[in-house]
Structure 1
Amino acid sequence: MNPYQSLRDYEEFVYTLPQQFPSIVSSTLIVIRRGRMVTVSGGIVFSQGYRLVVKERLTFDAGPLVLKRHGYEVWHGDEKVSWYDSQPHPHDPTLAATHPHHKHIPPDIKHHRVPAPELSFTHPNLLFLVQEIKQLLKG
């Protein structure tokens, strides 16, 4: 099931992430509705000092939610491991395949970008991100 089918479904999905994934220690994610706009923000804390900072902006009418922009940061302690965003970089041909979704990785994390084919505006990205952090936990 795609939790983007309704705002209620997505809220339930977001607020029950800790129950779905034992590797999640806690979550401060909140879903805020303002008219047709929805903001999801906060963080998810994992074991071993990992955390995911989430910023999503979605819209909806009577139908499914649509993600308009996103930013996800993966931290290990005080070190930013990587981040994803939907800021367009139309002059970077290496990102064209997944435009505008991409991931920032070391070295030179601010400028070193790679395509992010797992991310989308039409399905929840949080599932992929939680799975990615679970892989980091395995070491």
Structure 2
Amino acid sequence: MLSSLVSYSRLVYTIPDQFPSVRRSTLVLKPMGVAVGELEGRMDFENDIALRVYEVINFAAATLTYYSYTVYRGDEKLYWYDPQPHPDDSTLASTHPHHKHVPSDIEHNRIPAPGLTLDQPNLPFLIQEIEETLLRFTKQPPAASPPVTAG
């Protein structure tokens, strides 16, 4: 999926169709050269929740070279993810370089982020996390068809 601008565009621009919890998306994926793209924008959810997204994608290597994901409720920054290395923090070694900044001292309070990767799209994971932790949104199974009766 990260191997071409076209394939990643399909994911990015169909997010509201795939995830009904996303009320609005301003994500824009733009080329920055032959093999590099930049994704920037935000996704809005109910309850004044927003996810701001910034990614730099190397399509030739099929990897994210940088990302920043920040979740807000209104103007309040709830948490964010970034891949800035913290080699002196052994608690983050299990998911290096991925980590999540969380309250109370959000700038310095970091926890491992096992759901993130540099070689797959992170957006589905981030949306699902928002649904499960901030929206309590659960996908309902499709409604069963009514039984067919002989008549």
Task: Please give the range of the TM-score, normalised by the shorter of the 2 chains.
Answer: over 0.9
Partner of 1:83: 80
TM-superposed deviation, 1:65:
2.2
1:128 counterpart letter in structure 2? F
Partner of 1:9: 7
TM-superposed deviation, 1:5:
3.7
Q: 2:105 aligns with which of 88, 102, 108?
A: 108
What TM-score, normalized by structure 1, do the two folds share? 0.93
TM-superposed deviation, 1:48:
1.1
- Give the Cα–Cα distance (whole angstroms) in 1 for the partners of residues 17 and 3 of structure 2: 21
- Give the Cα–Cα distance (whole angstroms) in 1 for the partners of residues 125 and 4 of structure 2: 20
Alpha-carbon contact 1:7-1:65 (below 8 Å) kept? no
Query: Structure 2: where are the runs of 5+ without partners?
Result: 138-151
Q: Does 2:135 correspond to 1:137? A: yes
Partner of 1:60: 59
Partner of 1:47: 46
- Give the Cα–Cα distance (whole angstroms) in 2 for the partners of residues 99 and 87 of structure 1: 9
Across the aligned residues of Structure 1 and Structure 2, the Cα RMSD in angstroms comes to 1.2
- Helix, strand or coil at the partner of 1:80: strand
Partner of 2:67: 70
- Give the Cα–Cα distance (whole angstroms) in 1 for the partners of residues 107 and 31 of structure 2: 31
Query: Structure 1: where are the runs of 5+ without partners?
Result: none
Per-residue CA deviation, residues 84-134 of structure 1 (Å, 9 max, x unaligned), is 001111111111111100000001000000000110001111000000111
2:13 counterpart letter in structure 1? Y
TM-superposed deviation, 1:138:
1.4
TM-superposed deviation, 1:12:
0.9
Q: 2:19 aligns with which of 14, 18, 21?
A: 21
Structure whose CA Rg is larger:
2
Partner of 2:117: 120
- Give the Cα–Cα distance (whole angstroms) in 1 for the partners of residues 88 and 79 of structure 2: 22
Q: Does 2:91 correspond to 1:94? A: yes
- Give the Cα–Cα distance (whole angstroms) in 2 for the partners of residues 87 and 103 of structure 1: 10
What TM-score, normalized by structure 2, do the two folds share? 0.86
